Amino acid sequence: MTRLSLTHLPVAPAVDPRQLSVGVVHLGLGAFHRAHQAVVTERAAVASGDTRWGITGVSQRSATVRDQLAPQDGLYGVLERGLGDPSIQVIGSIREVLTAPEDPEAVVARIADPGVSVVTLTVTEKGYRATGAGLDLNDPEIQADLTGRPPRTVVGQLAAGLARRVEPLTIVSCDNLVANGPFLRKLVAEYFDALGKVPDVFEATRFPASMVDRIVPATTDADRDEAARLLGVRDEAVVVAEPFLQWVIEDDFAGDRPAWELGGAVLTHDVAPWEQAKLRMLNATHSMLAYLGALRGYETIAEAVRDDELATLARRLMTEDVVPTLTPPDGLDLQEYGATVLERFANPALKHRTTQVAMDGSVKLPVRMLGTVRDRLAAGAEPQVISLAVAAWMTYVRRTDPLDDPQADRLKTAVAGASTPAAVVDALLSVDSIFTPDLRDSTVFRELLVAQVGELLSRS
């Protein structure tokens, strides 16, 4: 079958990539970016008529996305799966694709390009190469970048690009991290400290925080077939998403930016309450359902949330443990938000795999669960449900082989000889890149975990 391209276009994208110049560099050209920021950026270009905001997308690891998009002139579909029939929309905002390991120099040159005033990132939690405290200076790739090779790490790319710039830049982290913008600024500052040289432009460079939300499962062959059926041409780069899309961005830019507010984003002075509600309610519950669901043999999140017992636990996690720790942003009703989150998880058409959400727990838990544990313990509460979420991760680590996690070796070695629930809990609590001393030393938390891991191990 013919491939989607500018000459084989059953549904025209709202913008023609040939008419856009590159104004945004995006690091981490996965499915999430293509279903989220790239869509909002296209809508903003259409609404404003501004043609300066085409995107150069950078794949950090493999050339797969470039090989999918290049024959398609950068075009791809977003296959929306909601409760009704699926629909597809072709997106034209990606102008150029770079593969960092093949041409690291081109990535730096693009970040340094004066036509570019914004860099956005979706590189996942582990892509930041941070320990709890800051940049992981023991990471061999960070060390190698610091020697001055063409950079391979995200922080190294940003630093090298900034070092060549005269005009300041705005760098927007779009990953699920607490205070992602300030956090990234700190990592880049630490990198410059380690280099012993801070470029002048760094002070004026802005790192706004942002909260992103859209469920985007990995694309399957069945999705590609569905896209072909809907489009009449093959689209190897299609991405799948739920209808829901939210992007809240701190309005703190060094220079020009796309009119993202015209594309549906919310620009605000304070992202923190949005981000905290999203990470603690949606992402923590997602992870708990992934671990408990996978332990019960469910393949997808929708199957897990259709299990009454798990649905009740998900609801209790939000109302009993998370909501008391939150200050909701203006206009957000947390009860309603929680109900919507569960409805979104129940979407049977998405087929979001429990194992996909379960991966990388060592870097996800501290961000989405452990703040809630800490706040509840500080309030004198016995945080039953959030500790069950952590216990589910511990049991999953014990039970799963191979484990998909950047610290898989360390975690598997830690639990290898653990023959009792208490031994599993103690072995994992002692992983200091995940659990801080206050959590490790809490008797209340430890006792809950030991009882819950015991129960889960005996059931699964």
Q: Kindly report the backbone phi and psi dihedral angles of residue 355, in degrees, each rounded to the nearest multiple of 5, phi listed first.
A: -70, -25
Please state the closest distance from residue 286 (CB atom) to ligand CS2, in A: 4
Which residue, 173, 326, 336, 199, is CA-closest to 252? 173
What whole-number distance in Å separates Cα of residue 154 and Cα of residue 100?
10
Q: Does 326 bind ligand CS2 (CB under 6 A)?
A: no
What whole-number distance in Å separates Cα of residue 311 and Cα of residue 25?
40
Q: Point out which span in 97-105, 153-161, 191-199, 211-219 binds ligand CS2 (CB under 6 A).
A: 211-219
To the nearest 10 degrees (0 to 180), the angle between helices 421-429 and 408-416 is 140
Tokens, residue 71: 């024959």
Please state the closest distance from residue 364 (CB atom) to ligand CS2, in A: 6
Please state the closest distance from residue 365 (CB atom) to ligand CS2, in A: 11
| 3-state DSSP of 84-103 | CCCEEEEECCEEEEEECCCC
- Residue 225 CB contacts under 8 Å (≥ 6 apart), including other chains: none
Longest CA–CA separation in the chain, Å: 65
Please state the closest distance from residue 295 (CB atom) to ligand CS2, in A: 17
Q: Point out which span in 184-192, 208-216, 308-316, 324-332 binds ligand CS2 (CB under 6 A).
A: 208-216
Please state the closest distance from residue 287 (CB atom) to ligand CS2, in A: 6
Q: Which is nearer to ligand CS2, 91 or 357 (CB)?
A: 357
Q: Which is nearer to ligand CS2, 127 or 151 (CB)?
A: 127
Residue in 65, 215, 370, 392 binding ligand CS2, rule: CB under 6 A: 215
Please state the closest distance from residue 233 (CB atom) to ligand CS2, in A: 29
What whole-number distance in Å separates Cα of residue 259 and Cα of residue 412?
47
Q: Does 241 bind ligand CS2 (CB under 6 A)?
A: no
Count of CA atoms in the C-beta half-sphere (13 A) of 264: 15
Q: Which is nearer to ligand CS2, 26 or 364 (CB)?
A: 364
Q: In this structure, are residues 55 and 24 in contact, taking their beta carbons and an 8 Å threshold?
A: yes
Tokens, residue 124: 């996942």
- Residue 111 CB contacts under 8 Å (≥ 6 apart), including other chains: 25, 119, 157, 158, 160, 161, 162, 164, 165, 169
Q: What is the per-residue DSSP string for 262-289?
A: GGT-EEES--HHHHHHIIIIIIHHHHHH
Binding-site string for ligand CS2 from residue 283 to residue 312, where x marks contact by CB under 6 A and - marks none: x--x--------------------------
Please state the closest distance from residue 215 (CB atom) to ligand CS2, in A: 4
Tell me the site size for ligand CS2, rule CB under 6 A: 9
Q: Which is nearer to ligand CS2, 287 or 452 (CB)?
A: 287
Q: Which is nearer to ligand CS2, 372 or 442 (CB)?
A: 372
Q: Which is nearer to ligand CS2, 213 or 405 (CB)?
A: 213
Q: Which is nearer to ligand CS2, 37 or 283 (CB)?
A: 283
Q: Point out which span in 63-71, 210-218, 418-426, 434-442 binds ligand CS2 (CB under 6 A).
A: 210-218
Q: Which is nearer to ligand CS2, 78 or 142 (CB)?
A: 78
What whole-number distance in Å separates Cα of residue 437 and Cα of residue 419?
24
- Residue 200 CB contacts under 8 Å (≥ 6 apart), including other chains: none
Binding-site string for ligand CS2 from residue 158 to residue 177, where x marks contact by CB under 6 A and - marks none: ------------------x-
Residue in 214, 257, 280, 398 binding ligand CS2, rule: CB under 6 A: 214
Q: In the window 61-100, what residues touch ligand CS2 (CB under 6 A)?
A: none
According to DSSP H, which parts of 278-323 are helical? 284-295, 301-305, 308-316
Q: Which is nearer to ligand CS2, 344 or 376 (CB)?
A: 344
Please state the closest distance from residue 163 (CB atom) to ligand CS2, in A: 32
What whole-number distance in Å separates Cα of residue 426 and Cα of residue 449?
9
Please state the closest distance from residue 216 (CB atom) to ligand CS2, in A: 7
Q: Does 213 bind ligand CS2 (CB under 6 A)?
A: yes
Binding-site string for ligand CS2 from residue 175 to residue 194, where x marks contact by CB under 6 A and - marks none: -x------------------
Binding-site string for ligand CS2 from residue 346 to residue 385, where x marks contact by CB under 6 A and - marks none: ----------xx------x---------------------
Q: Which is nearer to ligand CS2, 169 or 317 (CB)?
A: 317
What whole-number distance in Å separates Cα of residue 114 and Cα of residue 5?
29
Please state the closest distance from residue 25 (CB atom) to ligand CS2, in A: 22
Q: What is the per-residue DSSP string for 337-387?
A: HHHHHHHHHT-TTT--BHHHHHTTHHHHHHHHTHHHHHHHHHTT---HHHH
- Residue 442 CB contacts under 8 Å (≥ 6 apart), including other chains: 377
Q: Which residues bind ligand CS2 (CB under 6 A)?
A: 176, 213-215, 283, 286, 356-357, 364
